[in-house]
Structure 1
Amino acid sequence: MVAAKKGTAGEPVPPVPSVRAAAPAVPGELAVRSGEEPWTEAEVAEARDQLTIEADRLRGEIRSVEEALTGLMRDSGDGAGDDQADTGTKNVTREHEMALASNAREMLYQTERALQRLEAGTYGLCESCGNPIGKARMQVFPRATLCVDCKQKQERRF
């Protein structure tokens, strides 16, 4: 059984939505905004490569943080002989490492989701309104799932 992923605030992360089973993205068919040039094969390959490299980097970061956490847990022992400052420092360090791990897991989830959307041909479509996000935005922030308007609306709610 697979444990549920946790988001940055500790809440469960929803599973990656199923994407239509389709052939890999055809460069000229990915969503673009009015006035933008269609995606080229080289641009799609660059986006895929960038996302793959980021996913690999994040997996390494998660391994490193988890190893550090394992060491912190092992070294924490019962705290015998520690003064309050030592105990506090250990707790802060452990919480910091846990936050780093959570953030890296969330970023990996978003990156893998972007790769799935790229392969399904839905890369660059806003998940809220269905309009194109914009090729330029996707090239700067390849994990984007919302157009600028929907992202601004989302941020105003919080």
Structure 2
Amino acid sequence: MVSTTTGKVHQQARTAAPDAAGGTAARTKAAPSADGAAGAAGLPVRQGEDPWSEAELAEVREGLEAQVERLRRDIAEAQTELAERLSDSVEGAGDDPTDTGAKAYQREHDLALAYNTRDLLAQSERAIQRMDAGTYGVCERCGSAIGKARLQAFPRATLCVQCKQREERR
């Protein structure tokens, strides 16, 4: 099926796949537009959900892009703080074992937070890449639609609810 959206022509292939409830979830793969982004109408939705509008997709994308910028700032600040703490630990060479342990614990805690922040950044960037590729909203495990409501609540989701539940049970 060929549709014209704001003067751009997109090729769309529509298929139906069974979902966990026994119904079918429409899956659509849209060709990217001239700017590299797939059209909102080409994103998959679960049965009973309204198709994505350009405004809804733009809102989710803007939220992800704002989060990417915030996470990058957070990572830069964390790296600066860790560097300062490392220089402080050299100055505190005469600390007693309790102070040394407390500093080591704080450093490990800060490193864990930095790792989590980097992971969130990678997930957010990947979600934006999936939007550009036209695969946003497709479950990476089973290929079904993730669901518009799920993506609006958790835009970094890469698995449908059923696949995520199976993953968490393991």
TM-score (norm 1): 0.84
Equivalent position SS for 1:36: coil
CA RMSD of aligned residues (A): 1.5
Does residue 124 of structure 1 match 2:124? no
Does residue 22 of structure 1 match 2:32? yes
Deviations 1:38-73 (A, max 9, x none): 000100100110000010110011011111110111
Distance 1:40 1:25 in 2: 12
Among candidates 95, 98, 103, match of residue 116 of structure 2: 103
- In structure 1, stretches of 5+ residues that fail to align are 1-20
Give 1:35's aligned residue: 48
Larger Rg, first or second structure (1 or 2): 2
Distance 2:44 2:117 in 1: 28
Distance 1:120 1:81 in 2: 56
Distance 1:104 1:124 in 2: 23
Equivalent position SS for 1:91: helix
Does residue 112 of structure 1 match 2:122? no
Give 2:105's aligned residue: 92
Letter of the 2:143 partner, please give it: G
Deviations 1:87-125 (A, max 9, x none): 011101110110011000000000000000011111010
Distance 1:118 1:80 in 2: 51
Equivalent position SS for 1:77: helix
Give 1:133's aligned residue: 146
Distance 1:72 1:79 in 2: 10
Distance 1:125 1:45 in 2: 18
Distance 1:56 1:76 in 2: 30
Are the equivalent residues in 1 in contact too, given 2:40–2:53 (CA < 8 A)? yes
Q: Which runs of 4+ in 1 moved over 6 A?
A: none
Letter of the 2:154 partner, please give it: F
TM-score (norm 2): 0.78
Distance 2:40 2:163 in 1: 25
Distance 1:90 1:63 in 2: 21
Are the equivalent residues in 1 in contact too, given 2:32–2:39 (CA < 8 A)? no
Shift in Å, 1:79: 4.4
Distance 1:27 1:81 in 2: 61
Shift in Å, 1:75: 1.0
Give 1:17's aligned residue: none
- In structure 2, stretches of 5+ residues that fail to align are 1-30
